Amino acid sequence: MATVAAANPAAPSSLAPSVRWVLFGILCLAGISNAMDRQIIALLKSEMSAELGWTDETYGRLAAYFQFAAAAAFLVTGWLVDKLGVKWGNVVGVAAWSIAAAAHGWATAGWHFVACRIGLGATEAMGTPLTIKTVAAVFPPDQRSLAIGLQTLIAAVGLVSMPFLIPWFASLMGWRGAFIIAGAAGIVIVGLWLLATRGIRFDDGAEDARIDFADDEQPYGPILTERRTWAIAIAKALSDATWWLFLYWLPDFYRRQYGLSGTGLAGAMAVAYFGSGGGAFFWGWLSTRLLERGWSVDLVRKRVMLVSALIVTPVPLVLGIDNLVLVALVMAIVLAGHQGFSLSLFSVITDVVPRAKVGRVTSFGAFAGNLGGAAIAWIAGVVLTAGLGYLPLFLFAAVSYLLAYACIRLLLPEIRRAERAEAGAALPTH
């Protein structure tokens, strides 16, 4: 692999396809690790609650602590990822969240769990900017939507196995053992990444970012004055609130509505995750195909966002359906809609943001998204404890993506590729 990279920084076009896909494969493993760590507590909620005396409100508060910590950390992690670059950013990020996940296995007191959730949220906040920055550094522009979609699909396939594997690990080693195994898996991924990137220097804007930070003591200052940053941040806050609602509370919804547990719950969650991953791959593939056929970036991103937003709107109807199979399929389609919207939003970042600022803009958007997630996690706990059920929460979910789409339309009337603008190339006008 070192011979492929030569002495010069590796631009997307200079990496051999085999090297590109090896790096991509390890990135996908890191994504599975990132998602697995936060799913353990959702899937083992009943076991942990029985042992530790948690209520729904307690669980909601822990979820909110995680989200608040992630939101706060995103104000730093984007800067850190831009400064470290792709190679060392992945090492630091994956190692940090793996250690934080394993620490849950030794938590006993209530404040221990609060500290662990805050630590995990803060460290996992490196995952999103790392993924987007790595894709931008490794893949040519027209292939990035497909890469993001494929990465999400593979992560979702990994998540499909989690409702089966995590309870199995817990049955063998207890819920503490499940956290420790998750942390150990992340350390293995770090080793694979270090082996795969030997001799490779990435053209990821890290050098430009270091100059930028030296000249400006407030590294987020340059992006906060830009309309594109706020378009992404507001859209993320609205759309991610619904995503986190489903991620934390969908297992509980199935338990309440249908009395599911064990393999029954695992099967229903697997269908949801499969729909999420399949949707991500489909929308990524479709976006790439449309771009290859000459559609403008602006048209592709906004059309996919609109259709994805409309797909989510029927979600309150599941409350009136008695057929579990039909509900599971509807939820899978709804999560596929989320992934289409999310993928397009992340692709917009790689489209409109200069490479040296990708980490910061991604992190600021994720900061806003996690604030939305923290708010909905806390609100959900309060709403359910008050006996109001899932209707108010699902009604919000139905309109959140349409509101986010309206924000993008208002603040980004035309999506243009920053790389073409920097090169002086002609920009699309429709």
pLDDT band at 422 (very low <50, low <70, confident <90, very high): very low
Bridge partners for 202 per DSSP: 10
CA distance linking residue 340 with residue 282, whole number of Å: 8
CA distance linking residue 330 with residue 336, whole number of Å: 10
- Do the Cβ atoms of 63 and 391 come closer than 8 Å? no
- 231-280 pLDDT per residue, tens: 999 999 999 999 989 887 888 889 888 888 777 887 888 888 888 888 88
CA distance linking residue 96 with residue 120, whole number of Å: 8
Give CA separation, 425 vs 13, 419, 422, 430, in Å: 18, 9, 8, 15
- How would you write 112-146 as a 3-class SS string? HHHHHHHHHHHHHCCHHHHHHHHHHHHCCHHHHHH
What's the rounded mean pLDDT across residues 88-99? 92
The pLDDT value recorded for residue 121 is 87
CA distance linking residue 421 with residue 363, whole number of Å: 23
Nearest by Cα to 203 from 126, 128, 134, 127: 134
Quote the distance between the C-alpha of residue 131 and its chain's center: 9
State yes or no: pLDDT of 412 exceeds 60: yes
Residue 298's contacts (CB-CB under 8 Å, 6 or more residues apart) are 414, 415, 416, 428, 430
The pLDDT value recorded for residue 149 is 80
The pLDDT value recorded for residue 391 is 93
Nearest by Cα to 209 from 348, 364, 361, 94: 361
CA distance linking residue 14 with residue 17, whole number of Å: 9
CA distance linking residue 375 with residue 397, whole number of Å: 13
Give CA separation, 71 vs 57, 126, 277, 364, 425, in Å: 21, 11, 24, 9, 36
Pick the more confident residue, 361 or 309: 309
Superfamily of domain 11-417: MFS general substrate transporter like domains (1.20.1250.20)
State yes or no: pLDDT of 28 exceeds 60: yes
In the chain, what percentage of residues exceed pLDDT 90? Answer: 26
CA distance linking residue 21 with residue 37, whole number of Å: 24
Quote the distance between the C-alpha of residue 21 and its chain's center: 20
State yes or no: pLDDT of 4 exceeds 70: no
pLDDT band at 336 (very low <50, low <70, confident <90, very high): very high
Q: Which of 74-78, 192-196, 285-289 has the lowest mean pLDDT?
A: 74-78
Residue 384's contacts (CB-CB under 8 Å, 6 or more residues apart) are 56, 60, 249, 252, 390
The pLDDT value recorded for residue 204 is 59
List alpha helices for 323-390, DSSP H.
324-352, 358-385
CA distance linking residue 268 with residue 271, whole number of Å: 5
CA distance linking residue 384 with residue 390, whole number of Å: 7
- 275-300 pLDDT per residue, tens: 888 888 899 889 989 988 989 999 99
Q: What are the residue ranges spanned by the domains of the chain?
A: 11-417
- Do the Cβ atoms of 130 and 78 come closer than 8 Å? no
- 196-215 pLDDT per residue, tens: 988 787 765 555 555 455 54
- 377-399 pLDDT per residue, tens: 889 988 988 889 999 999 999 99
- Do the Cβ atoms of 319 and 256 come closer than 8 Å? no
pLDDT band at 71 (very low <50, low <70, confident <90, very high): confident
Nearest by Cα to 203 from 14, 76, 18, 387: 14
CA distance linking residue 260 with residue 213, whole number of Å: 52
- 138-179 pLDDT per residue, tens: 888 778 888 888 887 787 777 677 777 788 888 888 888 888
The pLDDT value recorded for residue 269 is 84
- 107-134 pLDDT per residue, tens: 777 778 888 889 998 898 888 888 888 8
Nearest by Cα to 43 from 338, 276, 261: 261
Nearest by Cα to 365 from 150, 134, 128: 128
Q: Which residue has the tokens 């429709």?
A: 430
Q: Average pLDDT over the chain, rounded to whole?
A: 82
The pLDDT value recorded for residue 13 is 56
